[in-house]
Structure 1
Amino acid sequence: MPSPPPPSRPARRQFMTTMTASKAAKLQNNKALPVTPTAPAEARPVHMFPADLTKPLDAIADPIYLNPLITFYILAAAHALAALYFPIQDCDEVYNYYEPTHYLTDGYGKQTWEYSPDYAIRSWAYVTLHAFVIGLRRVIPIWGLPKVWKFYFLRIMLGAVCAASEARLYTKISRTLNPRLGMLFFLIMLTSPGMFHASVSFLPSTFSMYTTALGMAAFMDWRGGMRTAQGMMCMIGGAFLGWPFAAALIAPFMLEEFVLAYFTDKEEFISFCYRILDGSVRSTIVLVLQFCLDAFFYRKVAIVPFNIVWYNVIAAREGKGPDIYGTEPWHFYIRNLLLNFNIWFVIAVAAMPLYFVHTFVLRQPIFKQSYLRGVFFLTPFYLWLAIFTLQPHKEERFMYPIYPALGFNAAMGSHILLSWLGTSNPRSLIAMIPAKLRLLFASLCFIAAVDFGAWRTLGMVTAYNAPLSVYKPLRLPGLTRPGDNVCLGKEWYRFPSSFHLPEGVRAKFVKSEFSGLLPGDFSQANQGFGLYPGAWLTPTGMNDENREDPSKYTQLSHCSFMVDSSFPSSEPSPLEPDYISQTDTWEKLTCEPFLDASKTGTIGRIGWVPDWDFIPSNVPFWMFSPGLIRWSLWGSEGLSSRPRTSRTKNTYNYHAAYYQFEFCLHPYRRRLANLTSDSAITMRDLQALLQDSISNIQNISNLQQAKPVIYLGLALVAFVYLIQRAVAGSKHESRLPSRSPDPEKPTITKLKVPERPPGVWIPSDFKRPTAAAYPDWSVETTKPLPYRPFRYGPKYNITMGLRTMNWDEWIELDNHYPRFHADKKRRIEERGSKCFHTDPSPQVFDGAVELLEELCGYLPERYPSMFRKTEHGMINLFANEIFDIRKDVLTMNGNREDPMQMAARMVQDDLAIMFEKEDGQMYLLAGAVLLAGFWRLQDKLGMSLDEIHYSGDVPGYHDKLRKGMNNFFRRIKPEAPVKRNNYFLQVDEDLAWSYSIGPEDAGEPSWDTAATNRAIEHHYFRSECQSLRRLPRSGGVLFTIRTYFHPITDIAQEDYVPGRLASSIRSWGDDVSKYKGKAKYGDVLLNYLDKKHEEQIANGLDLSREDECRAYPY
């Protein structure tokens, strides 16, 4: 075997970057690792291209080499078209990835069994990464776009990432191997239908495709040193975060490096071991980061990659696994890849034989590297195809990870074939064919491949794009409202995700012939479990055996809209009626064309056949068989006053490739009288996640883990911080505040002691952050937050129970506002200044006016549908009240009022402002208390904080609360508001004043006057949510008291509430029992609660799962 050619310059390494030419020659002489053979001079090929294909890139100035940035732009543009127009091909993409992402970004979505904590075989880390990408859209200076643009923005970004990975691999192929090989790879990836749709698919296999391309690029480029660690992190780390099975693709590259290390000296083997260790650490960091995020969401230890492998490999032997979802014959992938890559797939399959013939038979080198390099880089495609061909369960997306490898194989095979066509060797039969004819043949083959790809792509877009278009009319102003349901029957698997529905509109399923397990909904129990409780609350009815769960269906009467299809080849059935023909119930809204595959011939199914008149309609069935589908979005009759629109096309339009299919839209829909918008839990309070991350870092530090693990923790904090900065303000916040500390647990408040004399306040320049509009808020449908601030006994703790307040949670309004507003108006008229008062001193009066300014700034921001800011105040659109809050005016509808009286009209809360005097005590000097129930403003006005609590005999105040409370009130800062909750029981139905403790204008109210053991119908649960904040200009401490008032018989219907409330009441000490009047209602109430608790247990309530369903204070 001849020796390798001498290096072109001293620094050139001919065999491998880490091996000198002498080492390569030594290995060659020992015949341990063969070097590419060189062809005899007379047999050297003459290529169709002018430059020598065997020269490395930096030795030639090749005119066909494109700048990597240009290749990126071209690929990104192609992928952007796919993002905008290519239909979603797999329902798993929607329900397993888009819907969980929608849950993170918008607070609700469909949940598959894979996301149940019982199984945990889908990674929240992967979904969170894409939710973060959606959050990046806020940096684009285009606002007012509908929610569906989150969907398209994500797809465009996925296309950009794919383009970047392809461009990088193209660059490495061109620079390391051969520029023409790189150009062929680029053209194949650009023109293949498979890459067109895989590039923008939101699937772990697509993510693994990206990382496979990056990993191949890292393993391919040995210039400047081997990049084993980088390649391992891309391929193994990408497998962890994406699809674990994709890690198998690294085997040939690792084998190459092992062979290299084994057949060289000890130094090279040590270097190999170090690179393996480095790559393992990097991959482990990815796994640990994923583990932390998944543990955060699932609230349990869950190694998702292991769970995926276990289910698909181990559990498959137990009658479970993927095979229960269907199997395909061995040639499935061959047919599929032929459609997606046409002739390129054939060449890719032939690449290895062509490579061996070219290298060993013709002895013509492809590139000046070891021929084993070519073998190792061609192997992943065959390895993957063999592994998955042997699996009974087959899906198109399973091939995505090898698309870059397929492109490389096809480029290699094409490169070899072109070199054969370009030969001038007189001994070759090909050389006898005129060069122009060979060029024409090669050009026609390439053009045919490109045209077939475009034809196939256009056919897919025109035939199956309807699901992306049919939902567009729902986004028209006024057509939908929060609480509407879009129902899906037999077309459930074509739903393109909740991103295509307007805000507050939900997708629901009605029963069809499908008898497997449909997705449910992520929990929105409104229980305040913290960030994303739907991720860790165990849903009901989920199983890993595809057994049907009837609870996943909704009644047809709950449907506001219906998406359905009508195939002329199919007959209606009781479970799949022809909704389209039910014109007395449903009105057509929109129609879009869709291919009827069962009535369309092979050519019509494969690609695009235009609807042109000259194309005959009587062609053979196997070519252009017609078939009409009518898949329509329908709305029920009732409320719309707009006229019906007529159909513009014939019912059956027999034409060439397939019947034209219509999605039809008419502006009618049915409204249910009791249809209301469910509360949604959306992305919120990322600060809590940051605090959890900091806690994780401390735990890691305590365990004295290795440096990489510590680095991981720091990276996690940085990652969460970036999410917080990028996503804050672009997401709809939750209708429930984030999970709160238990007010019955000790409060830790670390506030710096203010450096100011008692009674002196230095105005602060702090400005409250702008409030985000409450998503889908309505004075008619937004329900009160379900505060249930009680815990199981046996111990009842007396603490302040403070927690940090999110500014968007300051004033809580709901559909009880009309009642509260009417009660306050009546009380103001009946009781006058007994209910409100503002001390005339300048500081206090300025504080009351400052409160008005804060409310007139906050309410129009938070509730823009109800309040409108004006030059001098605000308008309450619901009550037709115009407020002028100028200090020298202070009027409501032109009538001068006390500033606290004006503030009371605006909100549902009672209000109190305390000011510090020279003695350092806080005094109640301004207030509007109209709905307190158990205390009167005139009794407490002018009292200090101590006097207020002593006069009310507040249990434990002197021993447990006094010192901390006084310190807190003095130290609270304008930028650090807090909240707390408490609760009481009441034995009458009056919200404003509990007359059972005595007349409001009588002497000292007392439980002694209340009747004992009244019927349970007279028992009411009274919960308060209180906020405290410092007014920055006046220094007053504002105290808001929002009351939630419900009959006991109502809240006792909620799961776990009767048992928990009964236990809490029994945990009261004598002082608390006296303070809350337990003796007057305890026997009747506890007996009722115990019976309800027993009923719930008898009905199957699982007490062990309460913590999964509820969290304090809800």
Structure 2
Amino acid sequence: MEKPPQLPVRLALAVFAIANVAAALFAPIQDCDEVFNYWEPTHYLNHGYGLQTWEYSPEYAIRSWAYTALHSLIIFIGTLPFKVTGVARPKVVEFYFLRITLALVCALCQTRMYSVIARTMNPRVAIFFVLALVFSPGMYHAAPAYLPSTFAMYTTMLGFSAFMDWSGGIKTAQGIMWFALGTTLGWPFAGALVLPFLVEEAILASITGAVADGCSRVIQGAVGSILALSVQTGIDSIFYRKLTCVPLNIVLYNVFSSGSRGPDIYGVEPWHFYVRNLVLNFNMWFFLALLAFPLVIIQHFVLRKVVSNQTLLRSVVFVSPFYLWLTIFTAQPHKEERFMYPIYPALALNAAMSLHILLANFGSTNPAHLVSRIPASVKLALVSIPLLLSFDLGMLRTIGTLTAYSAPLNIYQPLHSAGVAQPGDNVCLGKEWYRYPSSFSLPQGVHAKFIKSEFSGLLPGEFSEANVGFGLFPGTWLVPSGMNDENLEDVGKYTDVKHCKFLIDSRLPSATTTVLEPDYLSDTEQWEKLKCVPFLDASQTHLLGRLLYVPGLPFVPERFRRKWGDYCLLRRRTPNTKPECPIALSMHLRVLGCSKWVCELAQWGSLIPRYHEINSVDDTGRTVTMSTLTPRLAKHVDTLREAARLHCTEFERILRQHCHTAKFHLDPVLKHVNVHPKAALYASLLLFTCTWLLVTVTRRLRTRARSRITPPNTPNLEKRSPFKAPDRPPGVWPPSTFTRPTAPPYPEWSITATKPLPYRPFRHGPKYNITMGLRTMHWDEWIELDNQFLDYHDLKAQRIIERGEKCCRTAPEAFEAAIELLEELCAYLSERYSSLYRKTGVGVENLVTGESFNILERPLQEDPMAMAGRLVQDDLAIMIEKKDGQYYLLAGSILLAGFWRLEDKFGMPLSEIHTSGDVPGFKEKLEKGMLNFFRRIQPQSPVLRNNYFIQVDDKLAWSESIGPEDSEGIGWFTAEKNKAIENHWFRSERQSLRRLPRSGGVVFTIRTYFHPVVDIAREPYVPGRLASAVRSWGDDVSKYKGKERYGDVLLEYLDNMHEEQVKDGLDLSREEEAHGYPY
């Protein structure tokens, strides 16, 4: 089986971060609730003023100050360097700093979930998960949004990751904590997403009988959740100055309100609202997400194939939250796009699983399947076209939204120019009040005000700015006037337009003016335009242009082109002001400042030449001199000031003339730039991606071409060391001429009398060294058979029948290596164990069982690894190097492994095989050396290693104490604790590693020796040495080997046995003479 490509975790993080940061910088704010309920209160905490909604009134208290204060603190800490250094920091910097921070937090959560999916399910599913999130418009708006539903989305990803990742034990408590944090600090209704995982926990507890452990995990999570809620309640109570549980208030308002109160008064939508919305935001991925559950069922019960490394129960649990959430909120009358944010990751996971299942079946090469007859090129086209179409639709939707509605974020820039706005000025909002991007867009001290429009609902008020005698942040607890929860209009929220120095207004071709919403842009006597940005007129634009980005190119039919209006920042004219461009005004102010500086310099310059003269005379003379100089200085300064004034006036006239000329020519260009800035950004990103892809493909093709070139066969006079790697490209193995030495017959070997070798590969503590533990192997040690052969043979044969390719499997690219292994075994076994095996013209014959093995016929009677497994007592595995330099498990006969399954590891690279099993110290101490060793190992230099485990049941093939073999819930956490010593078994493994000379595959043989602990403890020195070794395990090794489940009973027994041996006269000083590692 071809190992699916896997995106490195760091690269996945970079992809998520780039996409999210781009969204943070350019995505418009879609929901005024984000502005008025979160940005404005945050502005109040950081700057002392802001707009207040009724939800923050202490009478209702359905918004959490703990959530807002957290983000306010992030802004404060992030901008602290500006305060310390004294560098000016416009508030808009704070706005984008927080958005970027949220985007990066989202990227970390996405990466965490991606890595868990890749490790626990399938790398291909993880890749599709990335594609679904990165190229969907929905995440473009959700990732950087300052909303509780977005925060709940973050915690949902972390909660999913905790429940999905069972490496190192079930993480129920951690998963509950993440969901609880999203429920309390974020959005209370997000707690519904934990329900499928709790059901799974209950089912798992009933199946395994570990009810106490399951309850303990749930209780731990519940206690942590209550603690988090208590902290939040405490913070909110401090701000509101009364005991306040905000999550409870939210539930009471949304669920139990009725009549003129409750969320339904803000509008209701039909049942298909979310369907339409998710189709727009996720296109193909949404339909795939809907198919996930039926496809999982079909895959298991009809096609009888595994979806991933997970069981049916786990797969159903993983896909359930999406359906549960969609069902709950579809049934609610009041619907908002942001309500779907928490399940965006679940939608992506469902879609990724569906696509994985479809492709796995569509790519089948089984002749019995109809799809196997479809040419590969046609399959590629059928798969690529929908994916590319989804990518294009997603990008066009994103760019279309960005270019159409980004004006509110870009319109306030002129206010930050010197001299344009002053503290105390008002920026008024009429019909455009709901697009206001928050007070962070305004200069310090400039306030937003509302003027009356056709809207007749309740607008936000202002937080109290009282700062004397009220303590810190009085606006959080003082009850504002005019607030209600029925959306009833309060006229006290309006300001007369005559008090507005600045005004935000729009003019769309489709809009009609009214008395309350006049065309302020046409009133040039009262208002001048500081900046206008094109804004999409949705009602005049074709449906296609509203949904997607349609460029205004000549060949696009007029009816499909997008229609535009103007979104403008206006400034009130005063009687003595003339229309002028902002650039001229700004430069004018700079010139005036320059004039003042020149005058001051001239004044002081006239004094400097006289300074020493004045100070060189006595006091009387100084007085006379000063009285003489003063008239001269005054006259001289007046002359300089007049000259500077005339010069600056002329400069201003010339500048104003050129400014208007430049404005006339630049306006069309700037207008076009305002329409397409993000299109240019995404075009650049697309160009960069295509360039990177072209370079990567070119490099791969060149590498492949070089690998086909056979180097000249020149003699190498330098003798290589045994482990020195030959000069060869990764994934290319030039066949070696090495021939294994003929194996001598095993002396007096008997299938009934030859006992298993007494491997006891443990050392005295106090230090436990984590190493590969390699030693040289002699060729007559490669395969060891003993009088347990028939028992092993029968057990293997039974498991091959029962489990088939779950235990024995060969990928196509490893077939030649598997055949070479068969050839090696047939030759070696007939040489070493001639009383058991006899070589034939087509293979080998087992003289005891009567089996004949034909390794020449094609096709073989069975998988070559199954055939190899019948010949020996060992488990077998073959690692094949690919062109990325990694070694992959592509052939195996793993029938007696005890603690791991071939179906979980098959197709994995060497590093992932170990990291997915949480091998202690692998990353820190083993990975680099192991990868180098695999690269260097030569056919003539085989090696051996040993290891050992303790098992608390007597099953050689699969240790049932860690869970049923086909269950996903496996691990030491399911084992019964402190079983009687008679249930403890010593499991020792002897592994050989060698390179096959012709194919280059690296062969593992894993021979398991299995003895009751009570038997080996009778051997001299063994109980004391084993007890010392077990005590030397670090926490990571103890967890990996399950010590917590048996350590107390085992060590007590070993200590007692050791004491008995010492009492019986055991000479501890002679232990080294009696035993040498690994015996």
TM-score (norm 2): 0.53
Partners of 2:211 and 2:154 lie apart in 1 by 30
Task: State the superposition RMSD in angstroms.
Answer: 2.4
Which of 172, 190, 210 pairs up with 1:246? 190
Shift of 1:429: 2.2
CA contact (8 A) 1:589 1:668 kept: no
Give the equivalent residue in structure 2 for 1:128.
Answer: 69
Contact 1:463 1:595 in 2 (8 A): yes
Aligned partner of 1:408 among 310, 334, 349: 349
TM-superposed CA distance for 1:427, in Å, is 2.4
| Paired position in structure 2 for 1:174 | 118
Question: Structure 1, residues 632-681: CA drift from partner, whole Å, max 9, x if none?
Answer: 11000128856434xxxxxxxxxxxxxxxxxxx79899xxxxxxxxxxxx
1:160 corresponding residue in structure 2: 104
Q: CA deviation at 1:410?
A: 0.5
Query: C-alpha separation between the residues in 1 aligned to 2:374 and 2:260?
Result: 60
Q: Does 1:562 align with 2:503?
A: yes
Quote the offset at 1:136 in angstroms: 2.5
1:64-108 CA-to-partner distances (Å, cap 9, x unmatched) read 222222211221111111111000000000000000000011111
* Alignment pair present for 1:281 and 2:223: yes
Whichever residue aligns with residue 517 of structure 2, its letter is: E
Q: Does 1:269 align with 2:224?
A: no
CA distance in 1, matches of 2:485, 2:80: 41
**Counterpart for residue 861 of structure 1:** none
User: Does 2:471 align with 1:535?
Assistant: no
Provide closer, same or farther for how the CA distance between residues 638 and 436 of structure 1 changes in structure 2, counting only shifts above 3 A.
Answer: same
Query: Is 2:254 the partner of 1:312?
Result: yes
Matched residues in 1 for 2:91 and 2:205: separation? 54
Distance 1:239 1:97 in 2: 17
The CA distance in 2 between the partners of 1:547 and 1:73, in whole Å, is 47
CA distance in 2 between partners of 1:626 and 1:255 (Å)? 50
Note if 1:506 corresponds to 2:442. no
Query: In structure 2, which of residues 225, 232, 245 is the aligned counterpart of residue 290 of structure 1?
Result: 232
Residue 736 of structure 2: aligned partner:
none
Q: Does structure 2 conserve the Cα–Cα contact (< 8 Å) formed by 1:112 and 1:520?
A: yes
Indicate whether 1:191 and 2:127 are aligned. Answer: no
Do the aligned residues in 2 keep the contact of 1:636 with 1:668 (CA within 8 Å)? no
Report if the CA contact (8 A) 2:550-2:562 is conserved.
no
Q: 1:599 aligned to 508, 531, 540, which one?
A: 540
Question: Secondary structure at 2:348's aligned position in 1?
Answer: helix
Tell me, yes or no, if structure 1 residue 78 matches structure 2 residue 19. yes
Aligned runs of 1:942-1021 on 2, under 5 Å?
none
Structure 1 distance, partners of 2:221, 2:563, is: 55
Deviation (angstroms), 1:139: 5.4
Q: How does 1:105-124 map to 2 (within 5 A)?
A: 105-124=46-65
CA distance in 1, matches of 2:12, 2:80: 25
Q: Offset of 1:627 from its aligned partner?
A: 3.1
Q: How does 1:735-750 map to 2 (within 5 A)?
A: none
The structure richer in helix per residue is: 2
CA contact (8 A) 2:546 2:562 kept: no
3-state SS of paired residue (1:508): strand
Structural mapping, 1:694-705, within 5 Å: none
Match of 1:371 in 2: 312
Structure 1 counterpart SS, 2:208: coil
Which runs of no fewer than 5 residues in structure 2 stay unpaired? Answer: 587-603, 605-622, 624-1079
Q: Secondary structure at the match of 2:535?
A: coil
Distance 1:640 1:398, change over 3 A: farther
Q: Matched residues in 2 for 1:181 and 1:640: separation?
A: 68
> How many pairs does the alignment contain?
590
Deviation at 1:244, TM superposition (A): 0.2
Is the CA contact 1:599–1:625 (under 8 Å) kept in the aligned structure 2?
A: no
1:427 & 1:139 partners in 2: Cα distance?
68
CA distance in 1 between counterparts of 2:121 and 2:78 reads 38
- 1:873-909 CA distance string (max 9 Å, x none): xx9xxxxxxxxxxxxxxxxxx9xxxxxxxxxxxxxxx
| Residue type of the alignment partner of 2:547 | I
The alpha carbon displacement at 1:625 in A equals 5.7
Q: 1: CA distance between counterparts of 2:26 and 2:410?
A: 9
- 2:448 match: secondary structure: strand
Q: Return the letter of the residue paired with 1:616.
A: P
Q: Is the 8 A contact 1:638 1:668 kept in 2?
A: no
| Partner Cα distance (1:361, 1:145) in 2 | 63
* Partner Cα distance (1:443, 1:576) in 2: 50
1:594–1:631 contact (8 Å) kept in structure 2: yes
**What amino acid does structure 2 have at the position aligned with 1:205?**
S
Report the Cα distance in structure 2 between the residues aligned to 1:526 and 1:124, rounded to whole angstroms. 19
Aligned partners of 2:552 and 2:561 also within 8 Å: no
Map of 2:493 onto structure 1: 552
Query: Which residue is 1:90 aligned to?
Result: 31
Name the counterpart of 1:321. Answer: 262
Match of 1:592, SS state, is: strand
Q: Deviations over 1:590-642 (max 9, x none)?
A: 0111111111111100111112233232x3xxxx2653322211000128856
Report the Cα distance in structure 2 between the residues aligned to 1:632 and 1:225, rounded to whole angstroms. 59
Conserved 8 A contact 1:237-1:284? no
Q: How does 1:811-826 map to 2 (within 5 A)?
A: none
* CA–CA distance in structure 1, aligned partners of residues 362 and 463 of structure 2: 60
Q: Indicate whether 1:444 and 2:444 are aligned.
A: no
In the alignment, which residue of structure 1 is the partner of 2:570? 634
Indicate the residue corresponding to 1:463 in structure 2. 404
CA contact (8 A) 2:113 2:160 kept: yes
Q: SS of the residue aligned with 2:530?
A: strand
Is it true that 1:219 corresponds to 2:168 in the alignment? no
Give the partner amino acid of 1:628. Answer: W
Aligned to 1:334: 275
**TM-score between the two structures when normalised by the length of structure 1:** 0.52
Instruction: Indicate the residue corresponding to 1:490 in structure 2.
Output: 431
1:203 aligned residue: 147
CA contact (8 A) 1:117 1:538 kept: yes
Give the match for residue 375 of structure 2: 434
Question: Partners of 1:396 and 1:519 in 2: how far apart?
Answer: 22
Work out the CA distance in 2 between the residues paired with 1:197 and 1:166: 15
Q: Which amino acid aligns with 1:231?
A: G
Q: Deviations over 1:162-183 (max 9, x none)?
A: 0000000000001111111111
Partner of 2:174: 230
The SS at the match of 1:538 is coil
Runs ≥4 residues deviating over 4 A: 139-142, 639-643, 665-669
Q: Is the 8 A contact 1:486 1:563 kept in 2?
A: yes
Larger Rg, first or second structure (1 or 2) = 2
Question: In the alignment, is the contact (CA less than 8 A) between 1:589 and 1:666 conserved in 2?
Answer: no
> Following the alignment from structure 1 to structure 2, what is the Cα–Cα distance between the partners of residues 313 and 209?
22
Q: Of residues 294, 297, 302 in structure 2, which corresponds to 1:356? A: 297
Deviation (angstroms), 1:426: 1.9
- Residue 138 of structure 2 corresponds to residue 138 of structure 1: no
Deviations 1:414-439 (A, max 9, x none): 10111122111222222221111111
- Taking only the aligned residue pairs, the percentage that are identical comes to 54
Q: Is the 8 A contact 1:291 1:303 kept in 2?
A: yes
Change (3 A) 1:603 1:532: same
TM-aligned CA deviation for residue 528 of structure 1: 3.2
What do the CA deviations read for 1:746-781 (whole angstroms, capped 9, x no partner)?
A: xxxxxxxxxxxxxxxxxxxxxxxxxxxxxxxxxxxx
Aligned equivalents of 1:402 and 1:468: distance in 2?
Answer: 28
Conserved? CA contact 1:159–1:200, under 8 Å = yes
Aligned-partner SS, 1:393: coil
Distance 2:567 2:81 in 1: 35
Q: Are residues 1:419 and 2:419 paired? A: no
